[in-house]
C-alpha cells in the first residue's frame, strides 16, 4: 500500500506512519490521557488503542539516508523508522486484564508541528526526534529513564517457574524498555550465591533496585543480607536499595499487599514497577531468640500454631501452590489442636473499632509513599528490648489468664500486658506488617507497612465447623470481625511456649522461613527498608462494619 497523500499539516504532537507489518497507515497522537494509536484496518474501518504513559516503555527512531536524492525538491533525503513498545491489557477494554507486550514498527510519513514542505527533509527529521523525545518525557516524567537492575532468580522457588517467568515474560519487557540488568541465580544456604550473601555483597551504587523472582523467602533473605551489609552499612544499603517482588512463589504476600491480589498473577505488572515504580518505606522488625546470638530481620509475618504448621508442615506439598494452605487448614480445623503460649506485649490499641476507624481514615492519604524515614545512619538501629533473661522495659499493667473480652480490650491503655494462655491455648498466633499473608488470605486488614507498629492476631480455640467457616471471607479481611479473633496493635512483644509434646514437631515461621522452636521477641524499626511500588499499597482496603467516630 502506498503512503497516504499529503493532507493539511498535522497538529502538534501528532504523527503519521506506515506500519512495517501491515503496510497500512497508523496515526499516533500524544494526548492528555496517553498515546493514541489509530490503525487503518481497511478503507472503511480502523481500530483505536490508547496507551497510558505509565504503560509506555520506549519510543525510539532511527534515520537511514536514501541512496540518492529524490527528484522532488521538497522530499526527504532519508527514511525515519519509529519503534514503540508498551504494556497493554491482553483483553482490549479490560483494564484488569493481564498485560502483554505490544510493539509497533513503522516508517514515519508526516509529523505534526512542522511544515515539511517548507523545512525540507532535515526539518522533518528533527521534528520526528522531538516527537519521540516528548513521548518518552511523558512516559518517564520524574523518573530515571534507564534503570540498572540486578535480577535475583530462585529457580527452585514455589512451583519452580521463576526461571521461566524471568526468561520468557520479564526479560523481553526489560529488553524492550532498554534498561540494563544483570542476573544471578540463587544457590543453597552455604553457597556464595545464596540470596543473603548476594544482599551482603550488593553494591547500591551499581544498581537502582534488586528484582526478586521468587516467593517471599528470597525477599526475606535479601533484606537480611542488606541489613548485615559488609563494612557495617546495613541501614544505608537498605535505604538505597529498593526491592521489587516478581511473585513466583506459593504465598506471595508482599506482592499481594503491594500490587493488589488481582495483579499477583501478572509478572509483567511487577516488571513495570521495576521500571517505573517509586521507592516506598517498609518497616523491618528485629527478632531475637534466647538460644541464638543472631539478629533476624522480619518484614512480613511471625507465625506460631496452626498457621506456622501450614507454612512449614506442608512444604512437601509445594507443588500444589496455594492449595496446600487450604488443605493444611482443613486438616488443622478438624484436628481441633490448640497451642499453649504466653504473650507479653507492648499494646498500643486493642479496640477493633478504633483500629478500623484509624485505618479507614488513613486510606484517604497516600499511605507508604511519604511515611516516616530513618535518619541517614549507616548501620541498623540498636535493639531496644532487653535480653530474655531480663525484665521487660516497663511495668506490666495487667495479666490475663484467658483471652480478654472485646469490652475489656476496648478499655486497655497503652502499655505492657501479659496474656498467660498456657491453660486454654490458641488456634494460632500471627504477627504481621502487610495486609495479605497469601493471595486469598487478608489476615491483617488494618496493617500499615510503615506505621511503626505490628498487627497481632490471636485466635482462640474453635470447633471444627466454626474454624472451617471462619475463613469464608478471608480474601476480603472478614476474619477481623470474627468474635474468636483478638486483634492488637503493638510496638513490640515477647512470645514463649512449652516444648512440643513427645513425637510432635514444633514450628515457628518467620516470613515463611523456619527458625528454631523456642521463644522469640520482636520490635519494629520504622521505615528501615524500601520497596518499589506505584505510590500506594494496593492490597489495603476499607474495613466495613466496625468504623466509628472515636479516634
**Contact, 251 vs 244, CB < 8 A?**
no
Is the separation of the CB atoms in 392 and 344 below 8 Å?
A: yes
Q: Give the position of cell 535480577.
A: 151
Residue of 26, 182, 186 lying closest to 109 (CA atoms):
26
Whose CA is closest to 477, among 409, 545, 535, 431? 545
Report if residue 119 sits inside a domain: yes
User: Is pLDDT above 70 for 8?
Assistant: no
Angle, CA 157 vertex, CA 101 and CA 445 arms, to 5°:
80
- Whether residues 83 and 32 fall in one domain: yes
Q: Which three cell numbers stand for residue 451?
A: 506505621
Q: What is the pLDDT of residue 31?
A: 95
pLDDT digits (tens, 9 = 90+) for 128-174: 999 999 999 999 999 989 999 999 999 886 567 899 999 999 999 99
Rounded CA separation 64/77 (Å): 9
Give residue 173's pLDDT: 98
- Closest by CA position to 384, among listed 491, 239, 277: 491
CA quadruple 362, 365, 369, 373: dihedral sign:
negative
Query: Considering the chain, what is the average pLDDT of its residues?
Result: 87
> Does residue 551 lie within any of the structural domains?
no
Average pLDDT over residues 409-420: 97
Based on the fold, state whether residues 303 and 451 are members of the same structural domain.
Answer: yes
Domain stops at, among 93, 112, 139: 139
Q: What is the Cα–Cα distance from 489 to 495, expressed in whole angstroms?
A: 15
d(CA 290, CA 540): 35
- Residue of 193, 13, 1, 264 lying closest to 114 (CA atoms): 13
**Which neighbouring-strand residues pair with 150?**
182, 210
Report how far Cα 47 is from the mean position of its chain's Cα atoms. Answer: 34
Percent of the chain scored above 90 by pLDDT? 65
| CATH value at residue 391 | 2.60.200.40
Same domain, 211 and 322: no
Q: Is 117 exposed, middle or buried (0-12, 13-18, 19+ CB in 10 A)?
A: middle
CA dist list (Å): 485 to 404, 443, 477: 11, 10, 12
pLDDT at 74: 46
In a domain, 197, yes or no: yes
Pairing outcome for strands 396-400 and 415-420: parallel
Distance CA 162, CA 186 (A): 11
306 and 409 in a single domain? The answer is yes
The secondary structure of residue 500, as a DSSP letter, is: P
Radius of gyration of the chain measured on its C-alpha atoms? 28
Residues 356-376 as b/e (b if ≥16 CB within 10 A, e otherwise) read bbbbbeeeeeebbbebeebee
CATH number at residue 156: 3.40.50.10330
Q: How many helices (H) and strands (E) does the chain have?
A: 13, 25
Assign residue 158 a region: left if phi > 0, alpha if psi is -120 to 50, beta otherwise? left
266 flagged as catalytic: no
The whole-angstrom separation of Cα 352 and Cα 480 is 8
Give me the pLDDT at residue 309, please: 81
pLDDT-derived band at 373, boundaries 50, 70, 90: very low
Place of cell 497523500: 5
- State the Cα–Cα distance between residues 343 and 364, nearest whole angstrom: 33
Q: How many CB atoms within 10 Å of residue 246?
A: 25
Q: Kindly report, residue by residue over 471-486, the tens digit of the pLDDT.
A: 778 888 988 999 999 9
Residue 352 corresponds to which cell in the numbers above?
477493633
Residues 201 and 297 in one domain: no
Q: Which residue has the cell 514542505?
A: 117
Query: Are residues 19 and 104 in contact, defined by beta-carbon separation less than 8 angstroms?
Result: yes
* Cα gap 275→87, rounded to integer Å: 12
Which among 139, 158, 189 is the end of a domain? 139
* Per-residue pLDDT tens over the stretch 304-326: 988 888 767 655 545 455 555 66
37 within a domain of the structure (yes/no): yes
Same domain, 86 and 166: no
Please check whether residues 411 and 481 belong to one and the same domain: yes
Pair (258, 315) in one structural domain: no
Of 117, 139, 161, the residue at which a domain comes to its end is 139
Overall number of domains in the chain: 3
Asked whether residue 422 carries a pLDDT value surpassing 70, the answer given is yes
Q: One of 208, 216, 266, 511 is an active-site residue; which one?
A: 216
**Does residue 9 sit within a domain?**
no
Strand partners, 80: 63
**Whether residues 98 and 183 fall in one domain:** no
Confidence of residue 21 (pLDDT cuts 50, 70, 90): very high
Q: Tell me what the mean pLDDT of segment 12-19 comes to.
A: 90
Same domain, 386 and 463: yes
269 shares its domain with 359: no
Q: Is residue 549 part of a domain?
A: no
Residue-number span of the structural domain to which 105 is assigned: 14-139
Does one domain contain both 130 and 148?
A: no
In a domain, 198, yes or no: yes
Q: How far apart are CA 140 and CA 134, in angstroms?
A: 10
Cβ burial, residue 394 (10 Å; 0-12/13-18/19+): exposed
Residue 550 belongs to some domain of the structure: no
| pLDDT, tens digit, 9 for 90 and up, residues 478-511 | 889 999 999 999 999 999 999 987 778 889 999 9
Strands 520-533 and 278-288: antiparallel
Amino acid at each position: 500500500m502506498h503512503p497516504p497523500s499529503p493532507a493539511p499539516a498535522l497538529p502538534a504532537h501528532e504523527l503519521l506512519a506506515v506500519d512495517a507489518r501491515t503496510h497500512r497507515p497508523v496515526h499516533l497522537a500524544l494526548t492528555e490521557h496517553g498515546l493514541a494509536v489509530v490503525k487503518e484496518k481497511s478503507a472503511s474501518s480502523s481500530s483505536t488503542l490508547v496507551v497510558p504513559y505509565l504503560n509506555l516503555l520506549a519510543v525510539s527512531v532511527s534515520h537511514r539516508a536514501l541512496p540518492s536524492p529524490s527528484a522532488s525538491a521538497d522530499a526527504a533525503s532519508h527514511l525515519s523508522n519509529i519503534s514503540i513498545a508498551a504494556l497493554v491489557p491482553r483483553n482490549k477494554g479490560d483494564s484488569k486484564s493481564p498485560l502483554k507486550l505490544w510493539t509497533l514498527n513503522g516508517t514515519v510519513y508526516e509529523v505534526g508541528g512542522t511544515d515539511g514542505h517548507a523545512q525540507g527533509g532535515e526539518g522533518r527529521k528533527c521534528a520526528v526526534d522531538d516527537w519521540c523525545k516528548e513521548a518518552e518525557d511523558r512516559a518517564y516524567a520524574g523518573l530515571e529513564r534507564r534503570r540498572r537492575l540486578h535480577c535475583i532468580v530462585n529457580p527452585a522457588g514455589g512451583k519452580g517457574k521463576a526461571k521461566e517467568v524471568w526468561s520468557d515474560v520479564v526479560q523481553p519487557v526489560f529488553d524492550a524498555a532498554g534498561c540494563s540488568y544483570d542476573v544471578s541465580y540463587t544457590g543453597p544456604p552455604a553457597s556464595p550465591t545464596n540470596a543473603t550473601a548476594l544482599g551482603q555483597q550488593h553494591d547500591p551504587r551499581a544498581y537502582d533496585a534488586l528484582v526478586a523472582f521468587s516467593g517471599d523467602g528470597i525477599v526475606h533473605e535479601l533484606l537480611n543480607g542488606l541489613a548485615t551489609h559488609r563494612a557495617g552499612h546495613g541501614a544505608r544499603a537498605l535505604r538505597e536499595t529498593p526491592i521489587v517482588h516478581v511473585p513466583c512463589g506459593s504465598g506471595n504476600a508482599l506482592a499481594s499487599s503491594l500490587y493488589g491480589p488481582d495483579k499477583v498473577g501478572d509478572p509483567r505488572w511487577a516488571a513495570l514497577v521495576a521500571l517505573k515504580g517509586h521507592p516506598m518505606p517498609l518497616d523491618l522488625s528485629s527478632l531475637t531468640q534466647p538460644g541464638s546470638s543472631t539478629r533476624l530481620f522480619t518484614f512480613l509475618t511471625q507465625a506460631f500454631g496452626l498457621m506456622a504448621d501450614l507454612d512449614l508442615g506442608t512444604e512437601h506439598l509445594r507443588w500444589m501452590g496455594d492449595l496446600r494452605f487450604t488443605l493444611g487448614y482443613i486438616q488443622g480445623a478438624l484436628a481441633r489442636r490448640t497451642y499453649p503460649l504466653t504473650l507479653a506485649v507492648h499494646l498500643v490499641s486493642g479496640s477493633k473499632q478504633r483500629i478500623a476507624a484509624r485505618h479507614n481514615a488513613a486510606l484517604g492519604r497516600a499511605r507508604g509513599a511519604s511515611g516516616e524515614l530513618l535518619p541517614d545512619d549507616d548501620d541498623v538501629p540498636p535493639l531496644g528490648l532487653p535480653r530474655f533473661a531480663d525484665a521487660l522495659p516497663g511495668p506490666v499493667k495487667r495479666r490475663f489468664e484467658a483471652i480478654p473480652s472485646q469490652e475489656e480490650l476496648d478499655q486497655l491503655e497503652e502499655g505492657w500486658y501479659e496474656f498467660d494462655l498456657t491453660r486454654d491455648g490458641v488456634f494460632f498466633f500471627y504477627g504481621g506488617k502487610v495486609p495479605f499473608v497469601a493471595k486469598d488470605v487478608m489476615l491483617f486488614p488494618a496493617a500499615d507497612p510503615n506505621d511503626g507498629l505490628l498487627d497481632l492476631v490471636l485466635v482462640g480455640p474453635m470447633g471444627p465447623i466454626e474454624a472451617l467457616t471462619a475463613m469464608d471471607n478471608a480474601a476480603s479481611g472478614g476474619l477481623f470481625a470474627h468474635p474468636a479473633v483478638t486483634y492488637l496493635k503493638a510496638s513490640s512483644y515477647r512470645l514463649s511456649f512449652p516444648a512440643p509434646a513427645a513425637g510432635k514437631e514444633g514450628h515457628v515461621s518467620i516470613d515463611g522461613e523456619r527458625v528454631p522452636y523456642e521463644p522469640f521477641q520482636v520490635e519494629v524499626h520504622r521505615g528501615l527498608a524500601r520497596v518499589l511500588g506505584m505510590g500506594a499499597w494496593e492490597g489495603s482496603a476499607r474495613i466495613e462494619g466496625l468504623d466509628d467516630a472515636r479516634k
